[in-house]
Homo-oligomer: A and B are copies of this chain.
Amino acid sequence: MDISKLIIHTKLDTASPYYLQIAALIKSKIVDGSLEAGEKLPAERELALLFEVSRTTAINAYRHLEKDGYVSIKNGSGTYVSDRYSFESSTNTEIPWPQLLKPYIQSSMASLMSELMVSNVLEDKISLDAGMPDPDYYPVDIFSKLHRDYSAELDPRDFGHIPIHGYEPLRHTITQMLASEGIRCHADEVVILSGSQQGLYLTARVLIEPGDYVVIQAPTYLGAIQVFQSLGARVLSLPQREDFPLEILEDYLARYRPKLLYCIPTFRNPDGTVMNTGERKKLIQLAARYRLAILEDDPYSNYYYEDTPPASLKSLDDYGGVVYLSTFSKILMPGLRLGYMVAHPSLINRIILEKQYVDLHSNNISQWLLDLFIKDGYLANHLIKMRGIYRNRRNVMVDALNLGLKSKLSFQIPQGGFYVWCKINENISPKKLLQEALKMGVSFVPGEAFYAAAGEEYEFRLCFSRHNEKIILEGISRLEKAIGKLRKGQFSTPKKEMRPII
C-alpha cells in the first residue's frame, strides 16, 4: 500500500523525538496488517519529505524499527517490512482449559436465566418471561438531562476511586428514602452494590462454606438458588403455602442449623405472595432464637397496586440479623446496575472486604446520576406513574386469562410486583407448552426454574410489566392457541414411573 496515504493527516507533536513518532506510526500499520510482511517501504529521502523532517530523522526511524525487528534494511535495495510476529514454537499444543477449570456444580436450569435475559432482544417475540420494567418507560431522557444540567458542578475526583461502600451522597439519600419506609440506619450500614444480585453473592460468600445449609421459600428467584448452590450450600426448601410455614422452618432450624434464610416477603418472585405482619414478627423472633440470618430481598415492594404492603422485615428487626437488599433495576432500569444492602456493621465490614476483591466499588457515573434523580424528586414521580401503568397491565392480563383460559389455568391476582403465577389444570407439561408457545411467538418461564429440588410440575410464570396492554392481549391470545394446539393433538402425558437407569 502507499504509505503516503496513511500519514496524510498525521501531525508530529513536540512531546517526543520525531523519529520515535514516525517509527511508532509505521509500526502500528505493520501490526494492524495495513503494511504486509515483505512490502517495500519508501526510501529514506522520500520518508523525510513525507514527514517534513531531516533525512537523519528518517534514517533513525528505520533503524529504530529494525532494532525491534519490524523492518529489515537491505543495503542498496531498501527497507522492507519483516515478519516479526512469526516465531517457532517448540510445542504446538493447545492448553486444555476443561482440565484446568475447577469442577462446576451444574444445575439443569444453569443457563436458563442468561438465555432469558438475552431472549428479550428478539424483535418478533412477545416476552412474558424476563421480569423487567418496560424499556419504553426507562427515564433515559431525564438521566441525559441531569448529566447536562449538573456537569458544571462536577468534581472530577468523584470519577476516581471512591470508598468501597459507594458514593457517599447516594448512601445518605438512600438512608433518607429508607427512613420514610420505617428503616432507620446510618450511611455506614449501607453498601451500594452493582445490582442486588451482587448482594446475594457477597452475603453468600461471607457466610456460606461448602456443606452449609440455606433455607429458601419454594418457589423463589432462580438467581439466588444458583448462587447458593455454586458456593456449595445445601438448599432446604419451605413448601409453597398460603401462610408462611413457620413450624417447618423451626423443624429445619432444629435439625440442620442453617445459617441463612433467603426470602422475598413482599410480592415474591414468582408467585406474588406477601407475608403478613404477624408472620414477619414471628419469623424475626424465631430467627433470633436460632441465631439465623435472614436475607430479605425486596425488589418489588414499591410496585403495589392495592394497599401499601406491610412494613419490611428490616424495619421490624430488633436483633440485627436481617440483611436488607433492594435494587433500582426493577423500579428504574436494569442497565444502571445499582442496588444496595443494609445490614449490621459487623456484616457490612466483612462484605466490604469481599466487594473489594470483586470490583473495588460500583460505577460512579450511575451513582452520581441516580443520586441527582432521587434528590430532584424524579424517583417519587416515576413510582407513582409506573404503579398506575403496571396496575392497568396486571388488570388486562388477569382479565384476558379469566376470559380465555379460566378453565385451564388457576392463579391468584397479584397485589403487586410483575408476575402472574399460573397453575395448569390439565396434564400439560410447561416445557412442552413453552416449545409450542415459542413457535407462536410468545414466551414465559416454566415453573421448575424457581425450585431448588423437583417442584410442582404444572406451573409457569407470566410477566405483565414488560409490554403494553395491546401486546399483552396478543400474547395471551397466542398462549391460548398454544394450549389449544397441545390439547387438540394426540398428546398424552405418560404416567411418571421411576425406572432404574442401568
Chain B residues whose C-beta falls within 8 Å of the C-beta of A180 in the assembled complex: 28, 31-32
Partner of A307, one of B20, B85, B121, B360: B20
Say if the beta carbon of A353 comes within 8 Å of chain B: yes
Chain B residues whose C-beta falls within 8 Å of the C-beta of A181 in the assembled complex: 31
Smallest CB-CB separation from A164: which chain B residue?
B114
Q: How far is the CA of A144 from the CA of B368 in the complex (A)?
A: 13
Within the complex, what minimum Cβ distance (angstroms) separates A225 from chain B? 11
Contact across chains for B27 and A363 when beta carbons are under 8 A apart: no
Chain B residues whose C-beta falls within 8 Å of the C-beta of A32 in the assembled complex: 179-180
Chain B residues whose C-beta falls within 8 Å of the C-beta of A99 in the assembled complex: 291
Interface residues of A in 260-308 (CB under 8 A from B): 277, 281, 284-285, 287-289, 291, 293, 305-308
Contact across chains for A102 and B209 when beta carbons are under 8 A apart: yes
Partner of A156, one of B31, B69, B140, B156: B140
Given A135-B157, A138-B160, A358-B358: A95 and B363 within 8 A (CB)? Answer: no
Q: How far is the CA of A387 from the CA of B369 in the complex (A)?
A: 31
Partner of A195, one of B154, B230, B360: B360
Q: How many residues of chain A are within 8 Å of chain B by beta carbon?
A: 132
Contact across chains for B182 and A85 when beta carbons are under 8 A apart: yes
Chain B residues whose C-beta falls within 8 Å of the C-beta of A387 in the assembled complex: 15-16
Q: How far is the CA of A151 from the CA of B13 in the complex (A)?
A: 33
Contact across chains for A285 and B90 when beta carbons are under 8 A apart: yes
Interface centre among A99, A102, A141 (most CB of B within 10 A): A102
Question: Which of A314-322, A410-418, A486-494 forms contacts with chain B?
Answer: A314-322
Chain B residues whose C-beta falls within 8 Å of the C-beta of A159 in the assembled complex: 135, 138, 140, 333-336
Smallest CB-CB separation from A309: which chain B residue?
B68
Chain B residues whose C-beta falls within 8 Å of the C-beta of A334 in the assembled complex: 159-161, 360, 364
Q: How far is the CA of A209 from the CA of B311 in the complex (A)?
A: 42
Contact across chains for B147 and A335 when beta carbons are under 8 A apart: no
Chain B residues whose C-beta falls within 8 Å of the C-beta of A104 in the assembled complex: 350, 353
Q: How far is the CA of A41 from the CA of B302 in the complex (A)?
A: 26
Contact across chains for A197 and B358 when beta carbons are under 8 A apart: yes
Question: Which of A45-53, A200-208, A242-250, A440-448 forms contacts with chain B?
Answer: A200-208
**Which residues of A approach B to under 8 Å, CB–CB?**
13, 15-16, 20, 23-24, 27-28, 31-33, 64, 68-69, 84-85, 87, 89-102, 104, 110-111, 113-114, 117-118, 120-121, 130, 132-133, 135-136, 138, 140-141, 143-144, 147-148, 151, 154, 156-164, 179-182, 194-195, 197-198, 200-201, 206-209, 223, 226-227, 230, 259, 277, 281, 284-285, 287-289, 291, 293, 305-308, 310-311, 315-316, 318-321, 333-337, 344, 346-347, 350, 352-354, 356-366, 369, 384-385, 387-388, 391
**11 pairs of residues in contact across A and B, judged by CB atoms under 8 Å:** A13-B384, A16-B305, A31-B179, A85-B316, A95-B293, A97-B320, A132-B160, A132-B161, A197-B357, A201-B357, A201-B358
10 additional A-B pairs beyond A31-B182, A95-B293, A337-B364, beta carbons within 8 Å, are A16-B305, A93-B288, A97-B350, A101-B347, A141-B151, A158-B335, A194-B337, A200-B357, A336-B365, A359-B359
